[in-house]
Structure 1
Amino acid sequence: SLSMAAGWPCSPQMKKVKVQSSRFKVHGSKFKVYGSKFKVQRSGFTVQSSAFKVHGPELRVQSSRFKVQGFKRRAKMADAWLFRATHQVQGRKRIIHQYNTGLEFLRYGRVIFSGTGGSVTIDTEDEEIAFVCLNGTGTIGLEGRSYDLKKYDALYVPRESRVEVSSQGPFDLAECAAPASRKYPVQFVRFDEVLKNPNLVRKAGFEPYARTLHTLIGENNVQAARLLAGVTFSKDGNWTSWPPHDHSKEKEEIYLYIDMPYPNFSIHLNYWDYKNMEMVVPVWEGDAVAIKRGYHYNVASPGTVTGFLWMMAAIREEKDRVFTQVTVQPEFDGRFKLF
């Protein structure tokens, strides 16, 4: 249970906190008190200390680490962060990045134009970016060339580039980004060509954990420093990404749930403790989960095909950019085939 003063947001999953004064003020987003780190966020705070004092009032924490959740979309559980309805934007927006999660390298954004179309200029600066078309049609221009994208086409854009994204009608792009120290060539991946390549389309697992993986930005078809990306679709009501696996030593990941029209939904799981699963949440189309570490997978509700765009960033450039480099949860290792 959790008891808080001054009407702070709380969750029944958190540890008990005792505040002996009803008020105290924080004048910055981060400061240290007697060697303890206290970080204030938009709708809560994180304490990484067993006890400390702030201007007299005593805040006693009976756990070495806890998180107070807020009213917004983001929730932090077991090194994974949930973002709701990321498809409800207009224009360009960077949604997941190093400042609102624990991810160090991987970032995700969206470029969405409505029925009248639109345009935006993007400078990649020190990032490599993979654009993946999720709906509609549009054009990306750079280096004197234009690339016409339709559903699930992907375009890899290197660092130090300027791109012009435009459309005459509806156009929805996912923007997957990561810092890169080298500049690689521009590379265009047509989904029609992916479907013809058995090395890029893979049927994995067996019912009830059968799914089809489509690699768009892979280590064998696109040169890049860190990025990997593709789309996966389950069979109706099946599990995907099973057995539970982790790749936190090599890669960070984001699952963006797509093509799941309401009321269809799935359940996303992420945890370290098998008997005390920290994240077990329903996800709908447009929801995204950023994964720093932990065993993760999902399952579709009956009548639902789980669809998601998976985006990864290698920890070490090029060396860790291997899709199949994973660690299966020991309880299930050897019992199920992941790929």
Structure 2
Amino acid sequence: MTGRGTGDSPPPDRHVRAATAAAGSYVLDIDPRSAGWGYSALRILELSPGGSHLLGAGDSEWIVLPLSGGCAVQVEDRAMELRGRESVFAGVTDFAYVPRDVHARITSGAGGRFALAGAKCERRLLARYGPAPEVPVEHRGTGGCARTVHNFAAADSFECDRLIAVEVLTPGGNWSSYPPHKHDEHRPGEETRLEEIYYFEIEGPHGFGYQRVSPSRPGGTDLLAEVRSGDAVLVPDGWHGPSIAAPGHDMYYLNVMAGPGPEREWRICFHPDHTEGYR
């Protein structure tokens, strides 16, 4: 496995296994420094019943996304109640946008598990609530490549400065993130450079899946990982896909993306060897 590091340091491990990147209140904490890149971040917060957590946004914008359970998010004088959901396999959820340079208090009466998807950014936008009924749901692919995408913070569905985030649900036995695609170059109108985090949850106590990232250039990221609930995969470059769900175990992943481009857009290039009949 190879990948890009910074300076003379070795590249970070691109397969982050559950519980290996915990920090403080977070069971998973990936920031630009630990990932070896410039923008994308993801934290997974677990709160016990009655629990509370103070998020310092710093120089990043954040989305608080319930994975299981609900919570309240207080940002300065703005209070947002998130109903949440039973699990990531139960459908779309509402969410809260937290701008940079603020503190947000997250509290949960019943407890729960919450993703904090972040991106280093320049503009400070307003704190906002994202209602579940307004989340665009897309059914992508057919047959063994069918999957469902929740475009809650896609580039064309919810305003952020740099952050792009979506959820993908892949039925057991199916492939998603296919054909392999990449977004590691800035080519106006054709491709945008985006760092990407895949965060996985797999249905069933013994569920698993596979994630492939193959090099798009010599020395690029080369990874084949068996993923389980709580794992993450970092994609700084390369063709990513397929994501493969084991039969009988539906696969969920949260994609968090951001990059240095002048426009917030998701433009990808498909692998030329694997496009026939699969888009």
Alignment TM class, shorter chain as reference = 0.7 to 0.9
The answer for unaligned runs of 5 or more in structure 1 is 1-12, 15-29, 31-36, 40-45, 47-66, 68-73, 76-80, 195-199
**1:224 Cα deviation from its structure 2 partner:** 1.3
Q: 2:226, 2:179 → 1: CA distance?
A: 19
Structure 2-normalised TM-score? 0.84
1:166 aligns with 107
SS at match of 1:140: strand
> Counterparts in 2 of 1:1-339, with a 5 A limit?
38-39=8-9, 46=10, 75=13, 81-86=14-19, 91-92=25-26, 95-114=29-48, 116-149=49-82, 150-151=84-85, 152-194=93-135, 200-249=136-185, 250-272=193-215, 278-297=222-241, 298-317=243-262, 319=263, 321-323=264-266, 325-337=267-279
Over 3 Å counting, the alpha-carbon distance change for 1:108 and 1:277 in structure 2 is closer
Runs of 4+ in 1 over 4 A off after TM superposition: 86-90
**Two-structure CA RMSD over aligned residues (Å):** 2.5
Matched-pair identity in %: 25
8 A Cα contact 1:90 1:112, kept in partner: no
Contact 1:90 1:111 in 2 (8 A): no
Instruction: Give 1:314's aligned amino acid.
Output: G
Per the TM alignment, residue 99 of structure 1 is displaced from its structure 2 partner at its CA by: 2.1
TM superposition shift of 1:112: 1.0
Q: CA deviation at 1:90?
A: 7.1
Relative to structure 1, the CA distance from residue 273 to residue 326 in structure 2 (aligned partners, 3 Å threshold; closer, same or farther) is closer
TM-score by length of 1: 0.70
Residue 143 of structure 1: how far off its partner (Å): 2.7
- 8 Å contact kept, 1:271–1:294: yes
Q: In the alignment, residue 120 of structure 1 is paired with which amino acid?
A: H
**How far did 1:258 drift?**
2.0
SS at match of 1:243: coil
Tell me the equivalent position of 1:24. none
TM-superposed CA distance for 1:210, in Å, is 0.7
- Structure 2 Cα separation of the partners of residues 108 and 89 of structure 1: 12
Rounded to whole Å, the distance in 2 between the matches of 1:125 and 1:97 is 12
* Cα distance in 2, alignment partners of residues 161 and 145 from structure 1: 12
Name the structure, 1 or 2, with higher relative contact order (CA <8 Å, separation 6+): 2
Which amino acid counterpart does residue 102 of structure 1 have in structure 2?
G
1:73-114 CA-to-partner distances (Å, cap 9, x unmatched) read x73xxxxx1111159777346611222222211011122112
Please tell me whether the aligned partners of residues 154 and 217 of structure 1 are also in contact (alpha carbons under 8 angstroms).
no
Q: CA deviation at 1:282?
A: 0.7
Which letter maps to 2:251?
T
Secondary structure of 1:192's counterpart equals helix
**Contact 2:168/2:252 (<8 A) preserved:** yes
Structure showing greater radius of gyration is 1
- Structure 2: stretches of 5+ with no match in the other structure: 86-92, 186-192
In 2, Cα distance between the equivalents of 1:208 and 1:309? Answer: 20
